[in-house]
Amino acid sequence: MDEDMKDIPDQTEHTRSRYDAIANVYDFMEWPIEQLLFKKWRHELWQSAEGPDVLEIGVGTGKNIPYYPDDIHVTGIDLSPAMLKRARRNADRYNPEQVKFSEMDAEHLNFSDEVFDNVISTFVFCSVPRPIKGLKEAFRVTKPGGRLHLLEHMLSHNRLTAAVMKRLDAPIHYLLGVHIARRTVENVRRAGWQIETVEKRAYGGIFRRIEAVKG
């Protein structure tokens, strides 16, 4: 079944309320895995960003801000006002002129067609209620030939791990607003993107870096 079809209508509000609730502890919760894995991956990802105009979907608390290359301008959007508040505070410690933030739903981007050189997102399409819709919106606002760069966690290719993840998906989504058993590579393709590379990063392909182009 199409992953967008599995969702119930009020999921956007559910997702927003979950991230608003954890915004103050989010960086603390993520600290160990950030030090162990994510820091290095973020640095590599942002080294590939091609500007000048980059859209970051789901900026969260602004964990990518330290990795923005100097020669790009970033528009950062997020559904959660509480996460955005922390992102703004974080940006003030780096280069506040480089990024502007907006509260916005990835499924309804308030931008004209073909305005961004690249769209970048880290660990977000596990939370967007209708991921294919969000990825189609990313496609729409990207210039022809522009790229999508993602870091995501998704359903493992290991059968046993995948079975456990499917079992845990609903309770984890209820608690944290995150789906842990999505087929994100397939969702990117379904949204119209041409996949260029998929790199499996850790834990049986649970973490992957995806690069795709608007052909």
Ligand X SMILES: C[S@@+](CC[C@H](N)C(=O)[O-])C[C@H]1O[C@@H](n2cnc3c(N)ncnc32)[C@H](O)[C@@H]1O
* 92/103 with CB nearer ligand X: 103
Selected binder of ligand X within 128, 150, 180, 206 (CB under 6 A): 128
- Which CB, 64 or 194, lies closer to ligand X? 64
Q: Does 22 bind ligand X (CB under 6 A)?
A: no
122 is a site residue for ligand X (CB under 6 A): yes
Residue placing its CB nearer to ligand X in the complex, 33 or 163: 33
**Applying CB under 6 A, does 205 fall inside the site for ligand X?**
no
Q: Are 175 and 14 in contact (CB under 8 A)?
A: no
Site size with ligand X, rule: CB under 6 A: 20
Q: At CB < 8 A and 24+ separation, what contacts does 128-132 make?
A: 128/15, 128/58, 129/7, 129/11, 129/12, 129/14, 129/15, 130/3, 130/4, 130/7, 131/3, 131/4, 131/182, 131/184, 131/187, 132/2, 132/3, 132/4, 132/187, 132/190, 132/191
**Minimum CB distance to ligand X, residue 91 (Å):** 13
| 15: nearest Cα among 100, 101, 134, 110 | 134
Site for ligand X in 60-79 (CB under 6 A): 60, 63, 77-79
| Per CB under 6 A, 80 contacts ligand X | yes
Window of 66-74, 92-100, 119-127, 202-210 that interacts with ligand X by CB under 6 A? 119-127
CA distance 41 to 38: 5
Q: Least distance in Å: CB of 82 to ligand X?
A: 9
35 burial type by CB count under 10 A (0-12 exposed, 13-18 middle, 19+ buried): exposed
Give the closest residue to 119 by CA, choosing from 198, 215, 46. 46
Site string for ligand X, 44-63 (x = CB under 6 A): --------------xxx--x
Instruction: Using CB under 6 A, list all residues that contact ligand X.
Output: 15, 19, 58-60, 63, 77-80, 83, 105-107, 122-124, 127-128, 134
